[in-house]
A and B are shown apart, each in its own frame.
Chain A
Amino acid sequence: MSFDVLFNQFMSGIARGALLFLVASGLSLTFGVLRVLNFAHGSIYMLGAFITYSIWKHLLIPVVGFYIATILASLIMAGIGLIIEFFLLRRLYSRGWPEQLLATYAIILIITDIVKWGWGGEFLSIPRPKPFTGAVFLFGFPFPSYNFFIILLGLALVVFLWWLVYRTRLGDIIRAAASDREMVSALGIPIPWLFTWIFVLGSLIAGLSGAVSAPFGAIRLGMDIEIIVECFAVVVIGGMGSLPGTLLGSFIVGQVYSFGIMYKPELALAFIFIVMAIVLIIRPWGIFGRPER
């Protein structure tokens, strides 16, 4: 196997990992603070992609149309997240996790049908937006420049989340709430308000990643469960609720997927689950996670 093939797989694995990080970071953030595993996170991602497509199609603005559609779709998904949290999840925090899981599963079913009803079952696609239509050369090898856009966006999100969680007052509250919710509440910080905004932020990130994934592959039904299962692998490998864990998990899953597809396309997913199973057996709470109390 020559170097350029390996390097090519590596780079496409990085791009894949960056997209996974975009989606999984929202999932992990929500879980870390709310302690609710949002099954419907992938559905918000899918709905974001479809809404981006529709806005992009109606705008018909040549260069910036896609970017405007991306921003609008992300905001719409944030609004939908607000509705979900405020009317549904908020009432379930005191209940057991099986009921929370089932409630988010119900949201998956509802969003699936909304997409089916609104867009039909076809495959849709958006061409790569300017200036990311061409290829860039790295060490003399060509790569789609849109992949670099995804990677840059992923890095930007890493920096933003790091700044948010470790450098702001809100971040102090987030970390405190993740470790002792009651104590934070006793200090006079309105926990329901915090939960709402974290869920909205998670939905915004999911919508954004759905939007930018649109020119990356096809927009279609079923992309929700595909991404959510891979994101579960990411957060389980890295450790749920941990930012560095999600980053490492995304990198590992992206690489395993990319090299797995080169080796045997049908089994790419199997390799991911094998890695996940190994991590779960050695360290059930993930590489950067902490054991549940």
Chain B
Amino acid sequence: METNQIEGKGSLVQKGWWLALLIIVAVVTPFIISEFYLTILGEALIMSLLALSFNLLFGYMGQLSFGQAAFYGLSGYTVAMLMTKVHFNFWLSLLAGIVMASILGLVIGYFCVRLRGIYFSILTLAFGQLLFFVIYKWHDFTGGDDGIQGVFPPGVLKSPINYYFFILVVFIFASFIFWRIVNSPFGYTLKSMRDNPERTEFLGINIARYQLIAFVIAAAYAGLAGALWAPFYRSMAPSSLMWIKSGEPVMAAILGGPSLFFGPILGMFIMTFFHAWVLGFTIFWAVVMGALILIIIFFLPGGILGFAEEKFKERRERNKQEIANFRSQIAD
């Protein structure tokens, strides 16, 4: 199943030049664009971490989680509440957010990893909505639908451009670790569970345990995104835990291509900028998003990167064929 394979180890090194180019673009762009687009760019980076979190479960492990917003939101709320209510240290708050998300991941994951397919999606959705309702209804503690305002990052990070660079550094570091994880023996085990769970089990691998570890890692990544988000947006609202938020990484992964490392990131960038652009002229962005999803499902199966790769492969095959034909003609 070569087409189904996630990008191999060599390709990232081979493509080193365009990765360097991307990083240069990411460093230079904030000095050129307006503050509005800088905010969108920062948001896209943070949300890309959420998309990576989702795709560890979906693209690599083959399980569709519809509840990643729970980890994202819990972490964001942890950071926001620690910083505003007890004036906790910024860095320790971020860490606490990620730890809280991981613990929640361990609890929810314990139940979810026993399930496959659509049942896994339903249970993650149910747990996500459960946490949303708890935070939404617990007005005394969480502020209910008012949310939490005034989450300010410390000193030098207060300026948007500095916070952007902070996000960028964390993002590059986190995605490098992510890339190492999915290309480790652990990552290959996840892929084998996706492609053939029975055979993997016969090899003596405890599927539930591996899936639980992956679930916790994904929760930690979603937690990282939430922890970065709260001080970036300076507030947290219960809508950040809603199922619509959980749907965003699902859309991003399928839009960009879940079978490729950069697919969900590309999808999230397109979605975030598209969202900002649509909101510029209509409040009915959901209908536009819905139409976009349908268009992708019908016309771009495999996502944008998946589609591009397929075309690229086709062309390479055709070139090979032509060379072979040419050779056989010469031989004749």
B290 touches which of A99, A106, A236, A276 (Cβ 8 Å) = A106
Given A97-B117, A225-B243 in contact, is the A105-B250 Cβ separation under 8 Å?
A: yes
How many chain A residues touch B (Cβ–Cβ < 8 Å)?
Answer: 39
Is B56 part of the binding interface, using a Cβ–Cβ cutoff of 8 Å? Answer: no
Specify which chain B residues have a CB less than 8 angstroms from the CB of A276 in the assembled complex.
123, 126
A218 within 8 A of B: no
Q: Which of A103, A106, A236, A284: most chain B CB closer than 10 A? A: A106
Residues from chain B with a CB closer than 8 A to the CB of A232 are: 122, 125-126
Is A91 on the interface with B (CB-CB < 8 A)?
Answer: yes
Check B126–A229 contact: CB distance below 8 A.
Answer: yes
Q: Is the CB of B290 within 8 A of A109?
A: yes
B115 CB to closest chain A CB (Å) equals 6
A109 with B122: CB separation less than 8 A: no
In-complex Cβ contact of A280 among B114, B121, B134 (8 A): B114
Q: Would B291 and A106 count as touching, CB distance under 8 A?
A: yes
Residues A102 and B297 in contact in the complex (CB < 8 Å), given A280-B114, A280-B123, A284-B114? yes
Instruction: Answer whether residue A58 sits at the interface, using C-beta atoms and an 8 A cutoff.
Output: no
Q: Is B119 an interface residue (CB 8 A)?
A: yes
With A103-B293, A103-B297 as known contacts, state yes or no: A269 contacts B284, CB within 8 Å. no
A99 to B290 alpha-carbon distance, docked (Å): 13
In the complex, how many angstroms separate the beta carbon of A117 from the nearest chain B beta carbon? 6
Q: Which residues from A are CB-within-8-Å of B118? A: 37, 97, 101
Instruction: State whether B114 touches A101 (Cβ < 8 A).
Output: no
The interface bits of chain A over 98-122 (1 if a CB of B lies within 8 angstroms of the residue's CB, else 0) are 1101110111111011101100000
Give A31 to B114 CA distance when docked, in angstroms. 21
- Contact assessment for A102 and B254 in the assembled complex, using a CB-CB cutoff below 8 Å: yes
Asked whether A281 and B250 contact (CB < 8 A) given A103-B293, A103-B297, the answer is no
Who on chain A is nearest to B58 by CB? A98
Contact of B111 among A103, A105, A108, A277 (CB under 8 A): A277
A229 contact set on B, CB distance < 8 A:
125-126, 129
Residue of A nearest to B126 (CB): A273
CB-based nearest B residue for A37: B118
Shortest CB-to-CB span from B241 to chain A, Å, is 13
Q: Determine whether A292 belongs to the interface, using a CB cutoff of 8 Å to chain B.
A: yes
In the bound complex, residues from chain B placing their C-beta under 8 Å from that of A102 are 250-251, 254, 293, 297
A92 vs B293: C-alpha distance in the bound complex, in angstroms? Answer: 13
Q: Would you call A88 an interface residue if the criterion is a C-beta within 8 Å of the partner chain's C-beta atoms?
A: yes
CB pair B117 A113 closer than 8 Å: no
Q: Which of B115, B121, B126, B284 contacts A116 (CB 8 A)?
A: B284
A266 touches B (CB below 8 Å): yes
Asked if B181 is at the interface of the complex by the 8 Å CB criterion, the answer is no
Asked if A113 contacts B122 (CB within 8 A), the reply is no
A233 and B297: CB pair below 8 A? no
Give which listed residue, A92, A109, A225, A292, contacts B286 with CB less than 8 A. A109
- The CA-CA distance from A73 to B129 in the complex, in Å, is 29
| B90 contacts chain A at the CB level, 8 A cutoff | no
Interface residues of A in 107-152 (CB under 8 A from B): 107-110, 112-114, 116-117
For residue B289, CB closer than 8 A to chain A, the reply is yes
Query: Which chain B residues in 97-144 approach chain A with CB under 8 Å?
Result: 111, 114-119, 121-123, 125-127, 129-130, 133-134, 137-138
The 3 closest A-B pairs by CB, nearest first: A109-B290, A113-B287, A106-B293
11 pairs from A and B in contact (CB 8 Å cutoff): A88-B294, A101-B118, A102-B250, A109-B286, A110-B287, A233-B126, A236-B122, A269-B133, A280-B123, A284-B114, A284-B115
Residues of B within 8 A of A (CB): 58, 64, 111, 114-119, 121-123, 125-127, 129-130, 133-134, 137-138, 243, 247, 250-251, 254, 284, 286-287, 289-291, 293-294, 297-298, 301
Extra pairs beyond A102-B251, A277-B123, A292-B117 (11, CB < 8 Å): A95-B297, A103-B293, A106-B294, A236-B119, A266-B137, A269-B129, A276-B123, A280-B111, A280-B119, A281-B111, A284-B114
Interface residues of A (CB under 8 A from B): 37, 88, 91-92, 95, 97-99, 101-103, 105-110, 112-114, 116-117, 225, 229, 232-233, 236, 265-267, 269-270, 273, 276-277, 280-281, 284, 292
